Amino acid sequence: MKTFIKLSIMIILITMAFTSCKKDTRALNTDVAPVTALNAPTNQASFNLQPTTGPSVLFTWNASTTQDLVLYEVAFDKSDGDFSKPIYKVLSDGSGVQPQATITQKVLNTVASLAGIASLSTGTFKWAVITSKATNAKVSGDSHIIQVTRPAGFAILPNTLYLSGTATEQGDDITKGIAFKKTGDGTFELYTSLQPGSYTLVDKNSGSPTVYSIQNNTMVVAGGSTAITGTKNVYRISIDLSNAAATLTQIVSVGFFSAPDNKVYFTLPYIGNSQWEIANTTIVIPKESYGLDSRYKYKFVVMDSAGNQSVEWYGSVNSDNPDPSATSPLSYYYMYPVDNSQYNFCFKIIPTANNRNCNVNVNYSPGIANYTNTITIK
């Protein structure tokens, strides 16, 4: 009898627990109320975009009346779009929970480009707010038009840039395109030679790259190519895609400057691959009253596209250096722009190179961490 009573009590408890669980179970409510009013920027607001220096723009709207937590995204579309496939979306502030979004002018410039507005042109696109909960999302019933005037430059900046074409050192096989050194966001630099022919800039060396070309030695445009005539010369090609700007500086000569003698001892021939080298030359360290003085740096004679020549000096990051040794770090020889003082910011020749034949190399290859120079004893 006792066993029967215990079994009955256990059945009752299990039934009560199961019933309680069933009462607590309910379907997830995915209903979401769309945003009904956009506040700022107001409809037909106008901006002269300054992607690098302009202040961010605050987008605000009335919060959704949905009781549970929702996520907001600012959606952008072309002026005649319906937001079924927005051209760009930005999560609101607070990881998507606040009814506002702080959006940079750089992003707005990208949106304008995706909307088909060319650089140095004025056009419109529109914005709305997408409110979502779980898998349910609704576009605001309201949308606003924004008018923008874009600056010069490209809104979408590549991470890589290559030089290709018959005028280049590697020819027109795009897979052998010469990589630029990236110096900043949308800025690139390359020391290379150009010969008669043509060249283009591409954002990748395979597939279907975006193509750019340099016009009038000053401006970068989409598509096209650049023709080279005359003799073969060495250049520093500086590119700023954010401003669609290009600067071609001819490297007329690279000279090995001896500080104690205050003169260029020899010039280094360009050997290709962004390098200058003089081979098997005798290095003699000048002897002064205070002893051997091996200080040196490099004198670059350069010429702009108008034919004006000037001098650039490259040397050590330190104003003074000890004699190097076989264990000196590679950074001892890193090249930096320096002033034209006779003795400051010089490297020193390793003492064992005195009166020996050496190879002197200046390496501005884009693939190395820092531009550098070496003196190798033969």
Closest-CA residue to 201 (of 214, 192, 184): 214
Tell me the Ramachandran region of residue 30: left when phi exceeds 0, alpha when psi lies from -120 to 50, beta otherwise.
Answer: alpha
Residue 196 predicted with pLDDT over 60: yes
pTM for the whole structure:
0.77
Residue 75 predicted with pLDDT over 80: yes
Instruction: With beta carbons less than 8 A apart as the criterion, state whether 88 and 141 touch.
Output: no
Instruction: With beta carbons less than 8 A apart as the criterion, state whether 181 and 167 touch.
Output: no
- Give me Rg for the CA atoms of the chain: 33
Instruction: With beta carbons less than 8 A apart as the criterion, state whether 82 and 56 touch.
Output: no
Residue 351 predicted with pLDDT over 80: yes
Quick one: DSSP state of residue 206?
S
Q: Sketch the domain layout of the chain as residue ranges.
A: 38-149, 162-243, 251-377
* CA distance linking residue 253 with residue 366, whole number of Å: 19
Tell how far CA 118 is from the center of its chain.
21
Instruction: With beta carbons less than 8 A apart as the criterion, state whether 375 and 360 touch.
Output: yes
Q: Of the ranges 97-101, 115-119, 234-238, which one carries the lowest mean pLDDT score?
A: 115-119
Residue 302 predicted with pLDDT over 80: yes
Residue 363 predicted with pLDDT over 50: yes
For residue 334, the cross-strand partners are: 372
Q: How many CA atoms lie within 13 A of 220 on its CB side?
A: 26
What pLDDT is recorded for position 242? 87
Tell how far CA 209 is from the center of its chain.
17
Q: Could you tell me the fold of the domain covering 38-149?
A: Immunoglobulin-like (2.60.40)
Closest-CA residue to 58 (of 25, 101, 24): 101
What pLDDT is recorded for position 16? 54
- Tell me the per-residue pLDDT of 158-191, one tens digit each, with 9 for 90 and over: 999 999 999 999 999 999 999 999 999 999 999 9
Q: Of the ranges 10-19, 81-90, 238-247, which one carries the lowest mean pLDDT score?
A: 10-19
The percentage of residues in the chain with a pLDDT greater than 90, rounded to a whole number, is: 85
Instruction: With beta carbons less than 8 A apart as the criterion, state whether 203 and 232 touch.
Output: no
pLDDT bin (cut points 50, 70, 90) of residue 30 is: confident
> Does residue 21 or residue 343 have the better pLDDT?
343
Residue 15 predicted with pLDDT over 90: no
